[in-house]
Amino acid sequence: MRKREINQNQYANLTNDFFIRKIKKFDKNFNFNKDFYKNTFKKISIQTSIRVWIKKKLISFKVMMNINFHLKNQITPFEVCASITDLEFKRNILEIKKMFTKTE
């Protein structure tokens, strides 16, 4: 079996700014589709984005620096993304945005 090589350039755009823009654009008009796997991936991506967005608001510096310390803790949030309904997830993200936007 051939080892799959990772192209580091494909991840070059995964910056704090990328995730922050994703949350800034997330609004009540955001829609999921009917594909469970794609929706779960979207939820994981949005959940990562909201984490970066919150930390940027609270501490205003690079947030992804300590990701290795939390690697084992990432399983639970991903399980939540797979088990929570799309509508409930959307409501939660909008509520979090609302709470942190009020403080500005």
pLDDT digits (tens, 9 = 90+) for 19-66: 999 999 999 999 999 999 999 999 999 998 998 898 888 875 555 555
pLDDT, position 38: 93
The predicted pLDDT at position 73 comes to 62
Mean per-residue pLDDT, 6-27: 85
Q: How far apart are the first and last CA of the chain?
A: 53
- How many Cβ atoms from other residues are within 10 Å of residue 81's Cβ? 19
pLDDT in tens, 67-83: 555 555 666 778 888 89
Q: CA dist 71 to 23, 57, 64, 88, 103, Å?
A: 22, 22, 11, 25, 30
